[in-house]
Amino acid sequence: MSEKGGKGFSLLNKGGSLKGKDDNAPKSTKGRKVQFSYEGSNESRTGLSSKSGGKVETAIPKGDWSKGGKGDKVAYGGKSPVSKEKRPLELKIEQELPTNAKCMFDCEATHILEGIQEQMVVLSKDPTIKIPVSFDRGLQYAKSTSHFKNPLAVRPILEFLTDFGVSDGEICLISNMCPETIDEAFALVPSLKDKRILVAVPLKDALSELSKLKQSK
Amino acid sequence: MFFHIVLERNMQLHPRYFGRNLRENLVSKLMKDVEGTCSGRHGFVVAVTGIEDIGKGLIRDGTGFVTFPVKYQCVVFRPFKGEILEAVVTMVNKMGFFAEAGPVQIFVSNHLIPDDMEFQSGDMPNYTTSDGSVKIQKDSEVRLKIIGLRVDATEIFCIGTIKDDFLGVINDPTTV
Q: Is A93 on the interface with B (CB under 8 A)?
A: yes
Q: Is there a contact between B81 and A39 if contact means CB atoms under 8 Å apart?
A: yes
Among B77, B100, B147, beta carbon nearest to A89: B147
Cβ contacts of B77 on chain A, cutoff 8 Å = 134, 138, 141
Cβ contacts of B112 on chain A, cutoff 8 Å = 41, 43-44
| Region at A203 (left for phi over 0; alpha for psi -120 to 50; beta for the rest) | alpha
Residue of B nearest to A135 (CA): B46
- What is the reported pTM? 0.73
pLDDT for residue A39 is more than 60? no
Q: Please give the ipTM for the structure prediction.
A: 0.86
Q: Is A40 on the interface with B (CB under 8 A)?
A: yes
What are the helix (H) ranges across A32-150?
Answer: 42-59, 66-86, 93-96, 106-123, 133-145
Residue of A nearest to B49 (CA): A116
Min CA distance, B158 vs chain A (Å)? 8
Residue, of A118 and B4, whose pLDDT is higher: B4
Residue B134's pLDDT band, with cuts at 50, 70 and 90, is very high
Q: Is there a contact between B86 and A33 if contact means CB atoms under 8 Å apart?
A: no
- Decide if B12 contacts B128 (C-beta within 8 A): no
A197 membership: H or E segment, kind and range: helix A196-215
Residues sharing a CB contact under 8 Å with residue A58, sequence separation 6 or more, in sequence order: none
- Decide if B90 contacts B138 (C-beta within 8 A): yes
With vertex at residue A51, the alpha carbon angle to CA A47 and CA A55, rounded to the nearest 5 degrees, is: 130
Instruction: Among B27, B28, B52, B75, pick the best mutation site for testing chain A contact (most A Cβ within 10 A).
Output: B75
Question: Residue A2: what residue type?
Answer: S
Q: Is there a contact between B38 and A47 if contact means CB atoms under 8 Å apart?
A: no
Compute the distance between CA of residue B174 and CA of residue B171 in angstroms, rounded to an integer. Answer: 9
Residues sharing a CB contact under 8 Å with residue B92, sequence separation 6 or more, in sequence order: B98, B119, B125, B126, B127, B136, B137, B138
Residue B169's pLDDT band, with cuts at 50, 70 and 90, is very high
How does pLDDT run across A83-120, given as a tens digit for each residue? 445 566 666 666 667 777 888 888 889 988 988 888 77
Residue of B nearest to A110 (CA): B2
Q: What is the pLDDT of residue A119?
A: 78
Residue of B nearest to A32 (CA): B150
With vertex at residue B78, the alpha carbon angle to CA B25 and CA A151, rounded to the nearest 5 degrees, is: 85
Burial (CB count within 10 angstroms: exposed 0-12, middle 13-18, buried 19+), residue A201: exposed
Instruction: Among B31, B44, B71, B80, pick the best mutation site for testing chain A contact (most A Cβ within 10 A).
Output: B80
How does pLDDT run across B26-81, given as a tens digit for each residue? 988 998 899 888 888 888 999 999 999 999 999 999 988 999 999 999 999 999 99
Q: Is there a contact between B4 and A104 if contact means CB atoms under 8 Å apart?
A: yes
Radius of gyration of chain A (CA): 26
Helices A106-123/A133-145 angle, 10° precision: 140
- Decide if A45 contacts A85 (C-beta within 8 A): no
Q: How many CB atoms lie within 10 A of CB B58?
A: 13
Query: How much helix, strand and coil, in percent to the nearest 5, is found in chain A?
Result: 75, 0, 25
Q: Is A3 on the interface with B (CB under 8 A)?
A: no
Q: Is there a contact between A102 and B1 if contact means CB atoms under 8 Å apart?
A: no
- Decide if B143 contacts B86 (C-beta within 8 A): yes
How does pLDDT run across A141-158, given as a tens digit for each residue? 998 888 887 888 888 888
How does pLDDT run across A200-210, given as a tens digit for each residue? 888 888 888 88
DSSP label at residue A142: H
Q: Is there a contact between A104 and B1 if contact means CB atoms under 8 Å apart?
A: yes
Cβ contacts of B53 on chain A, cutoff 8 Å = none
